[in-house]
Amino acid sequence: MKKIISFLRFLVVRLLCFLEIGLKFCLFLPILLFMVWFNYKVDISGLFQGELAPRQVANLLLEGKNVSDYDKMDERQVLQLYAQNLDKAPDTVALGSSRVLQLTEGLVGGSYFNAGISGAGAMDIMNIWYLFEREDKLPENLILCVDPWLFNPDPDLNKNADTELFAEFLEKGLGIAADYEEPDTVALWKALVDPAYFQGNVTYYLKQKESGVVQTEDGGSIPFHALANGSLGTLEYAAKRADGSVQYPLSFCTWNYDQVMAEVLAQAGTLNAMHGFEQMDAYWTDLFVRFVEHVQQKGVNVVFLLTPYHPFIALHVYNNPQGFTGFFEVEPWVREFAAGHGIPVYGSYHAGRVGIQESMFFDGVHCKPEALRLMFPGIDEALAGGQTAYETMYLATYGGTENSANALIGYDANCVVVDADWLAQAEAATPGP
């Protein structure tokens, strides 16, 4: 009997001990949870939220603000953090290189974000799409700026892209074996309960709150700050608008004819991503097809945009066709592929096909927003297969000439120079943002 009583007393003591431990743990649990939450949200080393500088840009964009110092941004990190923290996908997303960055929300209509980045190659395009797909933030519509170098096999065109992210997309998105390995995140997540990391985050947070200035972990300045809409056109540096598009510096936007042509001549001599482009690469062409079909299978509407090159660039490649044969192949192939997949196509690499005049270019490869306004009717009209009033009038007036309706890059050279009075009337008939 004594043994039974002793055993029961032992069990009671043990139970009370466990209850005491559990009670203390419950009292400590809120502190532990707060530490985890605080380390994740402040995250001075960028383990979970990304580095502080691109995080500042992404946060401002998510707040609907224009951001300063576009030229200093790590565009790929900014887009990753933007997609990661997006509450709701925009109706329309644009992808492409800097040649799409003048496509604004006013030109597109509806809820819109321009996810283009400078120098984007095929790998970048698919990576950026996958950032939205991975977060389950797919738009209803995708405007894809199809640059000719997307089909160029030159490996330098993808040298800045995230190869691990690309391998993940190939395997998880397209179902193509790519030797992708899931990263080991155990050590990373241990930082959430690390008292030393918590102390560093607290110190940084209090210092930032006291100064009111966002800084790097080591106290360095972060140049990015919000800008008012009215100030964008007067800045002497490039800025990123809240919709992801880019406002160039005033000094660049106001170049005179001689300054523009000097840059055009320099670009004609280099034509990055096109010299030595002998033919469309089979691998990248097949991957482009798979990518577009994958997007359509997700229920997303696709629109192709071909932004034109300066007429002198078209003249240059026409007169010097050696090494440009791959470039000449792209637009006819894109139009044929689009027709077979029910994809509307707007614009052309040849300015004469869409009536874009020399004055509508910043330089040899970037057209101005007014050129896009004349070519692109907005997303709703584009999905319905409509044209802008300008394009309708242009084709009616000049469509029978060699350099407009039938113009494809490599087939002819010059841009149609339209009558000045006609141009003014046609531009006025095409509403702008």
| pLDDT tens digits in sequence order for the chain, 433 residues long | 555 556 556 555 555 565 555 555 455 556 666 666 665 666 666 666 667 788 889 999 999 999 999 999 999 999 999 999 999 999 999 999 999 999 999 999 999 999 999 999 999 999 999 999 999 999 999 999 999 999 998 888 898 999 999 999 999 999 998 877 776 666 666 766 677 766 665 676 677 666 666 666 666 677 889 998 888 989 999 999 999 999 999 999 999 999 999 999 899 887 766 767 888 999 999 999 999 999 999 999 999 999 999 988 888 888 887 878 888 899 999 999 999 999 999 999 988 888 898 899 999 999 999 999 999 999 999 999 999 999 988 888 877 655 555 554 444 556 667 788 888 898 898 887 7
Write down the pTM of the prediction.
0.86
If DSSP codes are grouped into helix, strand and coil, which group holds residue 303? strand
Tokens encoding 181: 């390995």
Total Cβ atoms within 10 A of residue 120 = 29
Pair of tokens at residue 397: 């007036």
| Collapsed DSSP state (helix, strand, coil) of residue 179 | coil
From CA 115, how far away is CA 309, in angstroms rounded?
21
- CA dist 363 and 248 (Å) reads 12
